[in-house]
Structures are given as C-alpha cells and as structure tokens.
Amino acid sequence: MTDNPFFEPSATPFGLPPFDRIEARHFPPAFDRGMEAQNAAILGITENPEPPSFANTIEALEGSGRLLDQVSAIFFNLRSSHTNDAIEEIARDYAPRLALHRLKIMQNPALFARLATLYERREVLSLASDRRRLLERRYRNFVRAGALLEAEGRARLLAIEERLASLHTAFGQNVLHDEEGFGLDLDEGDLEGLPGFARDAAARAAQERGMEGRFLIPLSRSAVDAFLSFSPRRDLRRKLYEAFASRGAHPGEFDNRPLIAEIVALRREKARLLGYESFADYQLDEAMAKTPAAAERLLVEVWEPAKRKALEERALLERLARADGQNDPLEAWDWHYYAEKVRRERFDRDERELKPYFVLDTIVRAAFAVAGRLFGLSFVERRDWPRYHPDVRVYEVRAAGGRTIGLFLHDNFARPGKRSGAWMGSYRAEESFEGEVLPIVVNNNNFAKGEPTLLSFEDARTLFHEFGHGLHGLLSRARYPSQSGTAVRRDFVEFPSQIFEHWIGETEILRQYARHHETGEAMPEDLIRRLQAARHFGQGFLTVEYTAAALFDLALHREGAASLDIDRFEKELREKIGAPAEIALRHRPAHFQHLFAGAGYAAGYYAYLWAEVLDADGFAAFKERGDIFEPTLAASLRAILEAGDTAEPMELYRAFRGREPELRPLLEDRGLVDRAKAA
C-alpha cells in the first residue's frame, strides 16, 4: 500500500475511482509514472525482434498507456466538474507535457515503421473488420500527427502542440475566472416579475457565496435565461446579458482575444505543415462531411429559412415591445423577455405554468424509463459508493437480465469550481480485448438547485441530450478502447444524443412524467397541447444563433491568420451573412470553449446540425411506425450505440434507417418549412 491511490489495486466496486481518497497532490507523480510506463511499453514494441504483427504492434500500442489513461480521465473530468487552485496549477503544468508525450509517440519513427508495414499488408492479414479499421485509423492518425514529416517538421509540430495545449488550458481558465468573478447582486426590490423558482435559486446562489439576505444571478445559462425571460427591469437585463456575453473579453490578464489569434495562427501553420490548405480542411478530412464546403452547404441551406423565421419572430417581439411602451430598438437583452410574452399571449404557454411539472428527479426517472423501454436497461442508485461531490449521484447500470454493464454518474447542479454548460465525460471506456472492462460515464448539467429543482422544458431536453451521450458510452460493445462509445467521427457523435432528445417531447412521456411538484398530478392535456403547439416558436432565434456560430467557426478556421482581430472578424462575418443584430452567436468568440479550450469541435461546430439531419430523419422512422418504442427500430438504434467506431457512420445509419438521411425532417422539426406545402 502507498499513500497514492493510483498506485494501488482498485478496492472500489467495479473500479469506480476512489474519489474519497484522491487529492490534487496525487496527480503529478501519477502522471509522471504513467508517462514513464507508456514510454517503456513503446520501447518494448519498437525493440521487439519479431516481425510486426497485429498483436505485438497494434494491440500492444492499444494497451500501452493504461495508468496514464486512468489518471488523465479522472484528472480532466474533475477539472471540469470540481476544480480548485491546485488542480488548475497542475493543468497549466501538465497539459503541455502530456501533449508532447502523446505526439512524440505518434512521431516515433521505429513505431511508425512497424505500423506502416502492417498497413501496407492489410489486404493479406485476414483481419476482422474492427481490427482492420483500427489499423487503418491508427495509421492515418500517425500520419496526421506528422509521422511522414522530416525531422525539422516534426520538431516544429511538437512545439506547436505544446504551445496549443498551454493556450487551450489558459482559455478555459480565463472563462472560469470571469464566470466566478461576476454575479448580478440583487435585493428584494429587484426581483419583480421573477417566478418563485427563480427567486429561490437566486437566494441559494447568494447564500453559496456568503451573501445572506441577498439574491444573486450567476453566469450559468439556465439562470441567465430565466432572468432575461421574466425580469421587466431592462437595465438589469442589459447588465446581466452584457456580463454573460463578454466573458473572456475583458482587457487585461484574463483576456482571451489575444489567445484566439495565436491559437488560430498555430492551427493554420500545423495544417500547412501537414499538407492541408487550412485547419478546417485538416479537421474535416476525418469527418463525415469530409470538406469545409460540404459542411458549409448544409449550414447555408438552413441559414436562409432560419433567418426568415427569426425576422418574423422579431416583428412579433417589436410589436409587443412598442405596446409595452418601449420605443427604443429591440436589443439582444430584450429578446428572451418579449419571446416569453409572445408564448404566453399567442400560444398560451407560460414557463411559470410549465416549470412546476418538470421536476429534476422525475425527469431523470423519465430518461431512465425511456432507456429501459428502448434498450432494457435499469439504473440502481448506490448511495454508499464514493463520489467527488455530494451533488453527484452514482448508479449501477444493468441489462435486461440483471447483468451489470457499467456505472453512471449524474452531476446536475451549478456550483463554484464547475465549468458552465452541459457535457458527458468518461472515467473509463468499455473494452474487452484484455478482459471485460465496464464503462464509467458521467453526465454534467448546470441547473440551479432548488427544493425541489424545477427545470424548464429546454433544461429537460438538455438532460435527455447528455443522457443520450451517456448511453452511447454505456452500451458500447467495442473490443478496443480507442473504438469505444463516443470515440467516433465528430459529426456523428451528436446523433445518439440528439435523437434521444425527441422522447421528452412526446405526449406519452409527458403524460407519465410531467407531474406537478406539489400535487403529483399529471400535466393537463391542454397544457401538453399548448407546449407542443408552441414548439416551433423561437426556432428562428435558436437556429440563427447556432448556425451563425457554426459559420463563424468554419470561416475562422479557413481564413484566420496571425494578424487576426477577432472582434472585427466576428463583426464582418455577421455583416456578410446578414445576421440579425439582436441575435448574438450562440457562443461569443472569447468564451467559445468548444473551439478554443481544446480542439475537439474546432472547425466542427457544424456537427450539431449535421447530426440533426440524422436524428430528425431517424426519429421520423419511429413516428412512421406509430410506436416510439418499436422494438425492431430500437434494436437497430442500439446497434449504432454498441458499434462505437468499428464501422463507418453512414453504414451504421443506413443499416438502422434502410437508406441515407433526408434533410426535410430537420426543416419540418424546426418549423422552417410548411408541412402542408411539403406534403
């Protein structure tokens, strides 16, 4: 035994991380030992006198970083969900070291020579389809990491990746600094118009910051949206909106704009080193879209009808604002407020009337129940197992026959030390090539805690979305960890999450799980009808703010250069596409963590819309069958989740749907075409 839990055999159920024992000081020596162990394993591969084989090269490489993978998964998940100064200091120190470590492996000439030998012989190796795909993907990844470059080019690429790792880390830390450094401080007199759930959340947020008797609106999207939707105080709406929109864009030490310029320039240089015209070309070469032009075509096809719908919505809001006595032009901080009024007056949908029926615990049960009916899963809470924070709930996930298939962690509340947004993470990927390893998956949300916690309908959709990602990880049946679960093409990874969103809006689910938090009564049929009738209102706004952000991302990573002025670039892009002035990008550049706190979605933010083509078309198959739990389709959908990256995404989709996807269901689902005319 040692005092470092990373160096001991697991004593927790199913290998759950011993969160109750892990401290920040344990990570640096564990990272160091993990890198040393992987380097030794790589040396064992390259010095093996036997000719290269799939087992002694590909599988040996696949198993070479066990400790490092374990430590990294725990560290970076905790850094997102439950960080502190010590963890952030370690991140600044180790992010560039880890980037260099991984890239040096990918650029190891002796290792690549063995891999290339196998790649050249792939036609005669008689490999199973998943093994052949693993070999081919490994080879491409090494090439994309510079394995074919001369020594000078490899050295420059190493320097670029080291610097990018530091910049990505600093970007995320700067956003967190601004989010934790601001809260809209209110007194009782400032709460006019706010429903009880928003008042309670504001009181609790103030209490958490030691401000007894005050009310605080933190910079989490759910809290900000609620205040913007209900407060008649235009001055306070503006103050909160501008604080939210300007995260990461304050001159000085925590300004992310200079970082963006350097990140974009380095990414462009990297792409050019590797033979690509732009970073967008580099990124999309490994995506379903294949080219920036293909991704842009989809965005443009949706942009014009979305913009028309948004302008129709704006006209409605302006009429209400004038009737309300507001003669100044409509501004971004007015949109949510008057949109909520339109929903009440035109569609008789009031968020204050709806929200009491969306109780967090009940919506969680709804998500579990849908997974049960589709895939035969059950979720058994384990209150005595280790957790990294009291908010976290831990579940043992069982298949229909009672066999445990994984662990699921649910972390739903906003708090200091947790980044904003919603996301799925993995503490351990499923695999079977060295014995069965069960997945350990986490879903993070940032809901305002209440007694009970009440969600908006959009919050409920977000919960279902992230749970769809979680199911992708939990149901994986891949042999190798690098093909497991969500390790798929970036523009395919959102399909499982987005198709799962559809179930929460279905009448059958609402009747059973939308229940009043005080009476337990089901949502009235009339309210369900009004909720569904209003679902197309606001889609112009939502589609414009998202699509503008995706077009910005593509343009930036095709055109951005070292002299980039990001504010000017954003302004000129908006003018070029004709974005309505009152609708900002979904994420303004200086806090666009999808793009700049890492490279995962860089030049790939379009992926949500690309995947929505699949999910709208895919869910339409269930509707066509007249059964949203139709067993044959459910089994085909499960096959996609189980496959991970063992097959091409479009092959998996065609097997599920019987054909390639069509765009029209997406346009209809967002209300961007007239169904009657379409028929």
d(CA 124, CA 248): 54
Residue 69, domain member (yes or no): yes
26 touches 5 (CB < 8 A) = yes
Residues 6+ apart with CB under 8 A from 32: none
Would you name the residues annotated as active-site residues? 466
* Range 250-280 burial, b when 16+ CB lie within 10 A, else e: beeebebbebbbebbbbbbebbebbebebbb
At which of 557, 587, 604 does a domain end?
A: 604
Number of domains comprising the chain: 5
Taking only Cα atoms into account, the Rg of the chain, rounded to an integer number of angstroms, comes to: 25
Q: Are residues 235 and 138 in the same domain?
A: no
At which of 604, 630, 648 does a domain end?
A: 604
For the chain, which residues score pLDDT lower than 70?
1-2, 561-562, 674-679
Residue 669, domain member (yes or no): yes
User: Would you state the pLDDT for residue 674?
Assistant: 61
Residue 394, domain member (yes or no): yes
Of 42, 45, 19, nearest to 385 by C-alpha is 19
Q: Are residues 54 and 114 in the same domain?
A: yes
Residue 525, domain member (yes or no): no
The CATH number linked to 136 is 1.20.1050.40
**CB atoms near residue 402 (< 10 Å):** 8
User: Would you state the pLDDT for residue 673?
Assistant: 79
User: Would you state the pLDDT for residue 137?
Assistant: 97
Residues 6+ apart with CB under 8 A from 309: 539, 540, 543, 671, 672
Q: Are residues 402 and 479 in the same domain?
A: yes
406 touches 477 (CB < 8 A) = no
Residues 6+ apart with CB under 8 A from 264: 279, 556, 557, 560, 561, 564
- Using a cut of 0.85, tell me whether the model's pTM lies above it: yes
Q: Are residues 388 and 500 in the same domain?
A: yes
* Range 110-132 burial, b when 16+ CB lie within 10 A, else e: ebbebbbebbeeeeeeebeebbb
Q: Are residues 379 and 489 in the same domain?
A: yes
**CB atoms near residue 180 (< 10 Å):** 15
Residue 52, domain member (yes or no): yes
Region of residue 290 (left: phi > 0; alpha: psi -120 to 50; beta: else): left
SS3 of 406, please?
strand
Q: Are residues 119 and 30 in the same domain?
A: yes
d(CA 66, CA 210): 42
The CATH number linked to 596 is 1.10.1370.10
Q: Are residues 47 and 140 in the same domain?
A: yes
Structure tokens belonging to residue 121:
């012989």
The CATH number linked to 464 is 1.10.1370.40
Q: Is the dihedral of CA 412, 615, 557, 143 positive or negative?
A: positive
Structure tokens belonging to residue 423:
């996301």
420 touches 446 (CB < 8 A) = yes
SS3 of 413, please?
strand
Of 532, 570, 533, 531, nearest to 553 by C-alpha is 570
Residue 563, domain member (yes or no): yes
Residue 599, domain member (yes or no): yes
Residue 222, domain member (yes or no): yes
Q: Are residues 597 and 633 in the same domain?
A: no
d(CA 354, CA 530): 10
Of 618, 534, 548, 628, nearest to 586 by C-alpha is 548
Q: Are residues 488 and 437 in the same domain?
A: yes
User: Would you state the pLDDT for residue 562?
Assistant: 62
Of 567, 572, 530, nearest to 551 by C-alpha is 572
Residue numbers of the domain that contains 670: 609-678
Backbone angles phi, psi at 238, to 5 degrees: -65, -45
Q: Is the peptide bond before 51 cis (omega within 30 degrees of 0)?
A: no
226 touches 191 (CB < 8 A) = no
User: Would you state the pLDDT for residue 580?
Assistant: 96
Q: Are residues 365 and 339 in the same domain?
A: no
- Per-residue pLDDT reduced to its tens digit, 252-293: 999 999 999 999 999 999 999 999 999 999 999 999 999 999
At which of 573, 604, 635 does a domain end?
A: 604
Structure tokens belonging to residue 318:
């302006």
Sheet with 440-447, edge to edge strand ranges? 378-381, 393-398, 404-413, 440-447, 423-428
Q: Are residues 49 and 137 in the same domain?
A: yes
DSSP state of 540: H
**CB atoms near residue 561 (< 10 Å):** 10
d(CA 237, CA 229): 9
d(CA 337, CA 234): 9
d(CA 355, CA 171): 35
